[in-house]
Structure 1
Amino acid sequence: MMSNFYTLDKNKNVVKTSFEDFMLSGGMGSSDKRRVVETFVDDNIKVSTVFLAINHNYIYLDPPLIFETMIFGGERNEDCYR
């Protein structure tokens, strides 16, 4: 069975892992550990990319979707890209 669980190593490289190892490593962990980058475009707009840890691409032949970028503020508030 294909694993759909991932962790980030200390250098933030993606590592595929088993469910058991995923849970032993703390699972999803805190949002601070999963945040890859956060950019403030101005005082009202923030763009944030987080590591999802679980593959959100349910067509397993395609590359895994394990990152999500969201916009907060402005006219594109809460736009989400995976």
Structure 2
Amino acid sequence: MGGGAQYPYPKEVWTPSGGWWTRPRNWAGNTVIACAGIAALTYATWKVSARNEVRWAAPTKPIPSQRWAPQAAEMGVRKED
């Protein structure tokens, strides 16, 4: 079943993706490290964005950022316990 064996390919060809039939041994670890880095950058961006968010008028409808923006409590939109 399938297309047969892997055919010989030229060894002098270099590709940024790793070439033909690549499967690095440490792909799972690299994926975890990349996901952790993306999560850390997303969290840092989220915190900076929430800290710097400014609204000049109170929103008339509920918006998601009212849950975490510090200005929402100051405006009386979000009630602090």
TM-score of the superposed pair, with normalisation by structure 2: 0.24
Query: Which protein is richer in strand relative to its size?
Result: 1
| Structure exhibiting the larger radius of gyration computed from Cα positions | 2
TM-score of the superposed pair, with normalisation by structure 1: 0.24
Query: Which protein is richer in helix relative to its size?
Result: 2
